[in-house]
Structure 1
Amino acid sequence: MSRRKDRSFAVIGLGTFGSTVASELARFGNHVLGIDIDERNVARLADDIAEAIIADGSDEDALREAGVGACDVAVVAIGEDLEANVLCTMNVKLLGVPTVWVKATSRTHHRILAKLGVDRVIQAEREVGQHIAQMLYNPLVRDYVSLGNGFHIIDLRVPEELDQTSIGELKLDEKFEVRCLGLMRDSDYISCHGADTVLETDDKLLLLGRRENLRSLGDSLRSA
């Protein structure tokens, strides 16, 4: 089997969000080109990524000279300056970058970016806020992933009240239309294909279902 080819990334805007994305991508072994108009932001990342360049993301020629057009993916992480964000997005599209993700700061901004044909609009604060609210609402939910079309996978901690309860007794599919994908017990994965699998306190159940059904299940366990 051939080795997976690492992609090259341009991250434009190296504030808190952009610098985190850039440094994590570099940590995964990818070639990362970081660009920011502020010399201080560039200097902070100079030792962590392959290239860190001082340039204006709203200047197409500057991005071309920096080599953005040769990258596989561009992440436009320019924050509060809406005009600079939109101009930068247009520039990376004009340079022919195959995949473009852009940070948005409002719904209006989101709509503008969608019209420009970007591959993914990121509303970081909103997405993190929703994530945190879900976990605060139900402390049993340790984490979750949205799969689209209303489906989610959640990591749900088994409460003490369900210790020694079998998967079959929960009637996940029958009562909630939720499917158990498995469970983690410490560092061990245990299949949930058998209805006789017995739960222990603090097991991590991996559950697949629609958001409303998962919420109903979570509510029933929380009030148990």
Structure 2
Amino acid sequence: MSRKSQDRLGAVLVIGLGRFGSAVAFTLAEQGREVLAVEKDPQLAAQWSHRFTVIEADSTSKEALEQLGAKDFNVAVVGIGSSLEASVLTTANLVEMGIPEIWAKATSRDHGRILEKIGAHRRVFPEFDAGRRVAHMVAGRMIDYIEMEDSFTIVKMRPPFDLRGFTIGEAKVRERYGVNIIGVKSPHEPFEYATAETRIGEDDIIIVSGNVELLDEFAARR
């Protein structure tokens, strides 16, 4: 491996600085990660150039990507959503260059299937995923919602009224509702991993895991 490649092992290549790509690049930079962003639009490139390194280039050109050293990165994020053709061509270029981990934004299920077939390792559906999160959150007392795999989900929520004042063991949460309370955050207190003896207060926030349908039912309880 070249010295240049070794220097960029922890760096991330972000292509496309729309709302999704710029949020990814900005957050990575805030975390102290090295970011190289590629943006075709000169105005967007200029807008973000003071936050992280931005190169104005056309990512649909494999030659352009090779010239900026794209193949030295282990991780690349394709944030292009305005053009299906540009998204697919850019992703295909990265696949051909052998980037080990490619994340690509998809604007539809069909777009996602195309990205998968050409070799993208991870497909991200920002609008769809955000819509699902909001739908689950407005339906009950959920504050945050993370869906993992095979319907396994973790939520942050206010406790149902019939749990307040009881310990998790007394409420028999697992037996009665089929979900697990894995943590509790009381006001002005540090986060606490839950046990059967943990008592739920009316002002607490609880972290609960389980099947998404059971969690929806649990969160809808009064």
TM over 0.5, shorter chain: yes
The reply to whether residue 22 of structure 1 matches residue 20 of structure 2 is no
Residue equivalent to 2:136: 134
1:41 to 25, 44, 62: 44
Unaligned 5+ runs, structure 2? 1-7
**1:9-88 to 2 correspondence within 5 Å?**
9-49=12-52, 51-88=53-90
TM-score by structure 2 length?
Answer: 0.90
Residue equivalent to 1:157: 158
Question: Equivalents in 1 of 2:127, 2:168: separation in Å?
Answer: 36
Give the aligned residue type for 2:120.
V
Match of 1:79, SS state, is coil
Give the aligned residue type for 2:78.
V
Deviation per residue, 1:107-137 (Å, 9 max, x gap): 1111101111211111111111111111111
Question: Equivalents in 2 of 1:55, 1:217: separation in Å?
Answer: 50
Unaligned 5+ runs, structure 1? none
Residue equivalent to 2:5: none
- How many aligned residue pairs are there? 214
Give the aligned residue type for 1:157.
R
Match of 2:38, SS state, is strand
Deviation per residue, 1:23-47 (Å, 9 max, x gap): 1111111110001111111111111
Residue equivalent to 2:149: 148
Question: Equivalents in 2 of 1:154, 1:36: separation in Å?
Answer: 36
Runs of 4 or more, structure 1, over 6 Å off, are none
TM-score by structure 1 length?
Answer: 0.90
Residue equivalent to 2:94: 92
Give the aligned residue type for 1:216.
E
State whether residues 102 and 118 of structure 1, in contact with CA within 8 Å, keep that contact through their aligned partners in structure 2. yes
Question: Equivalents in 2 of 1:8, 1:60: separation in Å?
Answer: 20
State whether residues 78 and 105 of structure 2, in contact with CA within 8 Å, keep that contact through their aligned partners in structure 1. yes
Question: Equivalents in 1 of 2:100, 2:28: separation in Å?
Answer: 17
Match of 1:114, SS state, is helix
Give the aligned residue type for 1:28.
Q
State whether residues 102 and 121 of structure 2, in contact with CA within 8 Å, keep that contact through their aligned partners in structure 1. yes
Residue equivalent to 1:178: 179
Deviation per residue, 1:46-68 (Å, 9 max, x gap): 1111x200000100000111111
State whether residues 6 and 30 of structure 1, in contact with CA within 8 Å, keep that contact through their aligned partners in structure 2. no
Question: Equivalents in 2 of 1:208, 1:77: separation in Å?
Answer: 30
Give the aligned residue type for 1:69.
K
State whether residues 133 and 146 of structure 2, in contact with CA within 8 Å, keep that contact through their aligned partners in structure 1. no
Identity value in percent = 35
